[in-house]
Amino acid sequence: MKVSVPEFILSIKPYVPGKPIEELEREYGIADSIKLASNENPLGPSPKAVQAIAEAVGKLHRYPDGSAHGLVRKIAEKFDLSPENVVPGNGSDEIIGLLARVLLNHGDEAILPYPSFLVYEIAVRSVGGRPVPVPLKSMKMDLERMLDSVTDRTRMIFICNPNNPTGTVITKREFEGFMSRIPSHVWVVIDEAYIEFVRNPDCLQGVGWVDNERPVAVLRTFSKVYGLAGLRIGYGLMPSALTQVIHRIRAPFNAGSLAQAGATAALDDDSFLKKTLAQIHTGLTYLYDALDRRGIEYHPTEANFFLIRVQDAEVVFHALLREGVIVRSMRSYGYADCIRVNVGLDEENRRFIDALDRVLGKRS
């Protein structure tokens, strides 16, 4: 059967997520595997979120609060903004799509870093926009080249900070210089999915740029540091004039009841947040040290994942799978000699290093 669809839809390459543990175990005939491929929280979900979700289960016969009033108010208070500056989303991915729909006309351009989160390009192409990829420079976003790429048709620029998959960040000073040269017709979208993991005090925090005057939108998620990836809940912070337009097309129940309950409670779980950050930062120290002792090159990160250089990413990826360790090959991102690994539990980190030793034939 032939389906008639616009050519710009057919130009989209589908996003291919990492396979679930269960499917990989069946495919490779392995058991008791560990997954270090999707940048998930190794500690699981926020305990306060789990409790709030359990308490909300009995009301599943009711529709969610379409405005996500409690969650939106709590987010606004956290960042000293107005609720009118907050848009709840079915993950921050949905906010990306909503922004593309309201800001781009057919043929308009959106500048995006490459490689970076693949959903940016998908969202732009899905509305007939033209993605303009700008290659990274030394694993970092090349802000100067992004500026040089701006034309009269440019409507959006995506900034991923920290960048996925490289884990690099841009500084406050770099962004200030960048914004001073951005034309008024261009919106800057800052994706901060991993911002909570950052330790660099000079790193840009996009929230400080959100007001009702500047064309800046910031995206955040509960999937990573709060461990709520399975709920699909995120949010955008932006000028109220933009949120008003987005609410015209946002599905009225895009944030489910359990997602709202869990996310609202997670914002109060400071203990879990601190425990997560300690786990990630301690894990990074262990992994860096283990790789240093083996003479294996890697790229330091400000996120909960990082890149490790190997001779052939696909070969190492499949070899590690047979060892019961799931990582991500970066070949599809243009780094055919890199795997991406997220920090796991202490035992998982040790198991990864042991498996890597067997695959690469290295010992400390």
Report the alpha-carbon distance of residue 130 to residue 87 in Å, rounded: 25
pLDDT of residue 18 exceeding 70, the answer is no
The pLDDT tens digits of the residues spanning 118-147 come to 999 999 999 999 999 999 999 999 999 999
Structure token pair of residue 99: 């922004």
What CATH fold (topology level) applies to the domain 61-266?
Aspartate Aminotransferase; domain 2 (3.40.640)
Amino acid at residue number 157: I
**Residue 92: Cβ-neighbour burial (10 angstroms; 0-12, 13-18, 19+):** buried
Is the preceding peptide bond at 162 cis, omega within 30 degrees of 0?
yes
Backbone angles phi, psi at 35, to 5 degrees: -110, 115
Q: Angle 14-195-344 (CA atoms, 0-180°, nearest 5)?
A: 75
Report the alpha-carbon distance of residue 266 to residue 333 in Å, rounded: 32
The pLDDT tens digits of the residues spanning 271-294 come to 999 999 999 999 999 999 999 999
Residue range 28-34: mean pLDDT, rounded: 83
pTM above threshold 0.75: yes
Residue range 189-209: mean pLDDT, rounded: 98
Domains of the chain, residue spans: 7-44+270-360, 61-266
DSSP conformational letter for 228: -
Helix or strand holding residue 158 (H, E): strand 154-160
Tell me the sheet residues that pair with 299: 307
Give the residue from 8, 251, 221 showing the smallest Cα distance to 117. Answer: 221
Q: Angle 106-121-192 (CA atoms, 0-180°, nearest 5)?
A: 120
Give the residue from 167, 202, 175 showing the smallest Cα distance to 281. Answer: 167
CATH of region 7-44+270-360: 3.90.1150.10
The pLDDT tens digits of the residues spanning 231-245 come to 999 999 999 999 999
Tell me the sheet residues that pair with 131: 110
Radius of gyration over alpha carbons of the chain, in Å? 21
Report the alpha-carbon distance of residue 357 to residue 341 in Å, rounded: 15
pLDDT given for residue 8 in this prediction: 74
Give the DSSP letter string of 54-71. Answer: HHHGGGTTSPP-TT-HHH
Give the residue from 82, 64, 30 showing the smallest Cα distance to 211. Answer: 82
Is the preceding peptide bond at 300 cis, omega within 30 degrees of 0?
no
The pLDDT tens digits of the residues spanning 37-96 come to 999 999 999 999 999 999 999 999 999 999 999 999 999 999 999 999 999 999 999 999
Helix or strand holding residue 9 (H, E): helix 7-10
Which distant-in-sequence residues (6+ apart) come within 8 Å of 22 by Cβ?
none
